Amino acid sequence: MYQHLPVYAGDPILSLHEAFMADPRPNKVSLSIGLYFDEQGRLPVLDSVRKADQKLREQERPSGYLPIEGAPDYRAAVQKLVFGADSAAVAEGRIATIQGVGGSGAIRIGADFIKSFMPGSDVWVSDPTWDNHESLMQGAGLKVARYPYYDADSNGLRYDEMLAFFARLPAGSVVLMQPCCHNPTGIDLSKAQWSGVIQVMKDGGLVPFLDMAYQGFGEGIEEDAWAVRAMVEAGLCPLVTNSFSKNFSLYGERCGGLSVVCPSADEADRVLGQLKAGIRRVYSSPPLHGERLVAAVLDTPALHQQWVAEVKDMRERIKRMRVLLAERLTAGLPGMSVDFLTEQHGMFSYTGLTSDEVDTLREKHGIYLVRSGRMCVAGLNEGNVQAVADALIVVLRARS
For ligand PLP, which stretch binds (CB under 6 A), given 164-172, 186-194, 243-251, 392-400?
243-251
Q: How many CB atoms within 10 Å of residue 227? A: 25
Q: How far apart are CA 237 and CA 209, in angstroms?
A: 9
Given the residues 211, 224, 226, 307, the one annotated as active site: 211
Q: How far apart are CA 307 and CA 313, in angstroms?
A: 10
Query: 305-364: which residues touch ligand PLP (CB under 6 A)?
Result: none
Radius of gyration of the chain (CA): 21
Q: How far apart are CA 127 and CA 102, in angstroms?
A: 23
Q: Distances from the Cα of 267 to the Cαs of 207, 235, 264, in angstroms?
A: 16, 15, 5
Per-residue contact track with ligand PLP, 172 to 211, x per CB under 6 A?
A: ------x----x---------------------------x
- Binding residues for ligand PLP, rule CB under 6 A, total 13
194 classed as catalytic: no
- List, in sequence order, the alpha helices (H) in the chain: 12-22, 47-59, 72-83, 88-91, 102-117, 131-139, 159-168, 191-204, 221-224, 226-233, 265-280, 289-299, 301-332, 339-343, 355-365, 385-397
* Residue 249 identity (one-letter amino acid): S
Q: How far apart are CA 225 and CA 212, in angstroms?
A: 8
Asked if 32 interacts with ligand PLP (CB under 6 A), we say: no
Q: Distances from the Cα of 305 to the Cαs of 97, 101, 192, 291, 308, in angstroms?
A: 24, 25, 30, 18, 5
Shortest Cβ 211–ligand PLP spacing (Å): 5
Instruction: Indicate the residue among 243 and 306 with the shorter CB distance to ligand PLP.
Output: 243
Asked if 149 interacts with ligand PLP (CB under 6 A), we say: no
224 classed as catalytic: no
Asked if 238 interacts with ligand PLP (CB under 6 A), we say: no
130 classed as catalytic: yes
Asked if 236 interacts with ligand PLP (CB under 6 A), we say: no
Query: 247-276: which residues touch ligand PLP (CB under 6 A)?
Result: 251, 256
Shortest Cβ 128–ligand PLP spacing (Å): 11
Asked if 130 interacts with ligand PLP (CB under 6 A), we say: yes
Cβ(287)–Cβ(24) under 8 Å? Answer: no
Shortest Cβ 224–ligand PLP spacing (Å): 13
> Exposed, middle or buried, 50 (CB in 10 Å: 0-12/13-18/19+)?
exposed
Given the residues 51, 124, 130, 307, the one annotated as active site: 130
Of positions 126, 155, 243, 249, contacts ligand PLP by CB under 6 A? 243
Given the residues 51, 124, 226, 246, the one annotated as active site: 246
CA 323 to the chain's CA centroid: 22
Per-residue contact track with ligand PLP, 84 to 113, x per CB under 6 A?
A: ------------------xxx---------
In the complex, which residues of this chain contact ligand PLP (CB under 6 A)? 34, 102-104, 130, 178, 183, 211, 213, 243, 245, 251, 256
Catalytic residues: 130, 211, 246
